[in-house]
Structure 1
Amino acid sequence: MTQSMNGSMNTRTDAQERPGQGFGGVLVTLFDTVATWNERRRQRRALEALPDHLLHDIGLSRADAVTEADKPFWQG
């Protein structure tokens, strides 16, 4: 943020100051996406491996766990 001559605040920034811009921003976005996919895959495998009594404790059936685990990693 910068202050103009009349004392008002300017919230506009140059393109280089904005996060997520340029090649570096693309790499960060790509890394975040791959990390999200990996975490989603890991959590679905862990859910599928839970015994039935623990699934019941969290309000899921075996069929719910299998359905979730069968989703592709890119699908939220």
Structure 2
Amino acid sequence: MAIMTRDGKELLPNEKIMYISCLMMRPSTIMIDCDSAAMDDFTMRLLCNEEIITVNQDALGKPAANIFRTDSWDIQLSLSGDL
């Protein structure tokens, strides 16, 4: 995956797990910018993993809203009460 490189090298499997898990913890739309046909099987299975996707999904189906923003970070709150 193009977004999952480090110094022109692909991330190791454990690095991909950490990277995707951190992306999923943020309550926002999941967007992956790469050619899915060129994706290796491990990465495709990781992105389709129900446990990983569940981390991102809100029970009410509502996106989180920014409640505080600085130049370097945002705090988002979802209607389900998850931060």
Q: Normalised by the size of structure 1, how large is the TM-score? A: 0.27
Considering Cα pairs closer than 8 Å and 6+ residues apart, tell me whether 1 or 2 has the greater RCO. Answer: 2
Bigger share in helix: 1
Under a length normalisation based on structure 2, what TM-score does the superposition of the two structures give? 0.25
Whose Rg is larger?
1
